[in-house]
Amino acid sequence: MSLLNVTLDSFQDVKEAAQFTWLDHSVFAFMLVMSTVVGVLIGVCGKQDTKVDYLLGGKKMGILPISMSLIFSHLSGVTFMGMPAEIYTYNTMYFMTNVAGLFVALIIGYVFLPVFFNLQLTSTYEYLELRFDQKVRIMASLLFTVSLLLYLPIVVYVPALAFNHVSGISIHFITTIVVSVCVLYTMLGGIKAVVWTDFLQSFVTMGSCLAVIILGLIKIGGFKNMWDISYAGGRIEFFE
């Protein structure tokens, strides 16, 4: 919850936020429309005859879109707004969480995934039923559902709060629109729609981050000035 707290505090400290222009609104609307169109096209034109097609994409999707979808589905608005605020408020020690994540990814990839692949399982809960019984599977599923019900409102609220600050549009209105679009394309297109929308949105996300980095470095006078200022301010700390 540290990222969330720092993010909310940063919003409270903002005295005069930049406002969206017609171009910003157009890009935002385009992303919503694009996501909806992808879901509708896949749902109408794509092959969704079986549960395997709907839930697993027919097991024929490419490595690149699936990889990009996995990566960016784990990067929420809380991450993109909270991480810079966390590092600015404290320091770059947050970087160490990525080191731990690297080891976790290796263990999952070489220890757990081969088991799931050999057993042709689609979820951890299937394995729990095989290893124990159906009661354990149901209990684990319920606990995960409850955790998502508590987590997802935060993930939706924080970006909506940022959007409200720069556009003046009601938080309740924008959350309703965004959630409705997500539910619509997921319901119509299944996992294929989720993967392809994540894949397309990942390029917009990377482009936006790259633009912020480049413009920020230009404004501050280059990478060296940025590093010197951050180091002098005690924000460059990796191993202390």
Alpha-carbon distance of 122 to 113, in angstroms, equals 11
Alpha-carbon distance of 215 to 135, in angstroms, equals 54
pLDDT, averaged across the chain: 83
Task: Provide the terminal-to-terminal Cα distance of the chain, rounded to the nearest Å.
Answer: 22
Buried b / exposed e over 144-171, threshold 16 CB at 10 Å, is eeeeeeeeeeeebbbbbbbbbeebeeeb
Residue 7 has pLDDT above 60, yes or no: no
- How many folded domains does the chain comprise? 1
Residue 92 has pLDDT above 70, yes or no: yes
Q: What is the pLDDT of residues 148-196, one digit of tens each?
A: 999 888 888 888 888 888 888 888 998 999 889 888 888 888 888 889 8
- Whole domain around residue 146: which residue ranges? 21-232
Q: What is the mean pLDDT of residues 76-85?
A: 81
The answer to whether residue 41 sits within a structural domain is: yes
The answer to whether residue 5 sits within a structural domain is: no
Nearest to 135 by CA among 120, 144, 147, 125: 125
Q: What is the pLDDT of residues 211-228, one digit of tens each?
A: 988 998 998 888 888 888
User: What local confidence, expressed as pLDDT, does residue 136 receive?
Assistant: 93
Residue 2 has pLDDT above 90, yes or no: no
User: What local confidence, expressed as pLDDT, does residue 237 receive?
Assistant: 79
The answer to whether residue 219 sits within a structural domain is: yes
Nearest to 13 by CA among 5, 3, 21: 5
The answer to whether residue 172 sits within a structural domain is: yes
The answer to whether residues 38 and 196 touch, using CB atoms and an 8 Å cutoff, is: yes
The answer to whether residues 184 and 35 touch, using CB atoms and an 8 Å cutoff, is: no
Q: What is the mean pLDDT of residues 95-120?
A: 87
Q: Is 38 helix (H, G, I), strand (E, B) or coil?
A: helix
Contacts of 116 (CB under 8 A, 6+ apart): 127
The answer to whether residue 238 sits within a structural domain is: no
User: What local confidence, expressed as pLDDT, does residue 135 receive?
Assistant: 93
Residue 199 has pLDDT above 60, yes or no: yes
| Residue 138: band (very low, low, confident or very high) from pLDDT cuts 50, 70, 90 | very high
| Residue 54: band (very low, low, confident or very high) from pLDDT cuts 50, 70, 90 | confident
The answer to whether residue 237 sits within a structural domain is: no
| Residue 23: band (very low, low, confident or very high) from pLDDT cuts 50, 70, 90 | confident
The answer to whether residue 114 sits within a structural domain is: yes
* Sign of the C-alpha dihedral computed for residues 72, 73, 78 and 82 taken in this order: negative
The answer to whether residue 239 sits within a structural domain is: no
